[in-house]
Amino acid sequence: MIIFVEDRIEVGSAFKAQFEREGFALVHLCHLDFEVWLTGATKSELMSVECFLLGDSSERAATAKMIRGRSRAPAIALSDHCTLEKTLDLFACGVDDVVRKPVHVREVLARARAIQRRSEMRSESTVSGQIRVYFDGRDPEVDGSIFPLPRRERRILEFLASHRGRRVTKAQIFHSIYGVFDEDVEENVVESHVSKLRKKLKQRMGYDPIDSKRYLGYCLVERRSAHDGEAARNIVSSVANHRSFDAGDVRFGVA
């Protein structure tokens, strides 16, 4: 989810349409509404924000400071007219980048990913078992071959991969894919998308790489190899034999 703070309705609507064509949920809020939301935003909602975009406004510097007080997500200022003084002031308030309009959606997304890489050492892709997931809009790969997915399912897989090793809730996935304020879509739609994604991955890979726990959420996992399973069984067997041997020694000593 990307949040665009902009008081001009027509500008916000135009950006929202452009981002949605690229498969990204953009929430447009005026400065006042954004401040109200940010003050009461939950940790789950803040985790779902991939980037904050700040439109031209006299309140932009104060908004940037508020963002830095609650989130480390990239904050990019979009300016109609850039001056050195404005740019320096924005960087001083916590903005990560300043971009002059007009700018293409893909450039904004690329800049946001670059900021994330610098702050989190995040790469353009990540590997989980047989799956390689890209964060630049490309379809994932399974065993080196392209694995085409519908836009929503691909975005869910990207979100799971970006939080690999941690569980994410249905609400977090929903906020990331659809946005916090999308009232036209029910949150349960996530279950349908995840179910279809799991079925496709299982058919291709032979196992389900998405672990689901009721009330806890979803997690991307790697399949244990047969070698790992055999090694684990050998360890258990060795421990059991050792205990049996010790017990025999004790009995022999008593006799």
Render pLDDT for 55-89 as a digit per residue (tens, 0 to 9): 988 888 899 999 998 888 899 999 888 788 888 98
User: How many DSSP H helices and E strands does the chain contain?
Assistant: 10, 11
User: Considering the entire predicted model, what is its pTM?
Assistant: 0.59
Q: What is the extent of the structural domain holding 99?
A: 2-120
On whether residue 236 sits in a domain, the answer given is: no
CA distance 96 to 51: 10
Range with lowest mean pLDDT among 20-24, 39-43, 87-91: 20-24
CATH number for 78 = 3.40.50.2300
Residue 234, Cβ neighbours under 10 Å: how many?
Answer: 10
Q: How confident is the model at residue 217 (pLDDT cuts 50, 70, 90)?
A: confident
Quote the longest CA-to-CA distance of the chain: 95
> Do 9 and 30 fall within a single domain?
yes
> Do 109 and 166 fall within a single domain?
no
> Which H or E element spans position 78?
strand 75-79
* Between residues 237 and 142, the one the model is more confident about: 142
- Of 54, 13, 58, 11, give the one whose Cα is nearest residue 34: 54
pLDDT at 228: 41
Q: pLDDT averaged over the chain?
A: 81
On whether residue 232 sits in a domain, the answer given is: no
pLDDT at 180: 60
On whether residue 181 sits in a domain, the answer given is: yes
In the chain, the number of structural domains is: 2
Calculate what percentage of the chain has a pLDDT beyond 70.
82
CATH number for 209 = 1.10.10.10
On whether residue 246 sits in a domain, the answer given is: no
Q: How confident is the model at residue 213 (pLDDT cuts 50, 70, 90)?
A: confident
Collapsing DSSP states into helix, strand and coil, what is residue 93?
coil
On the question of pLDDT at 129 being above 90, the answer is: no
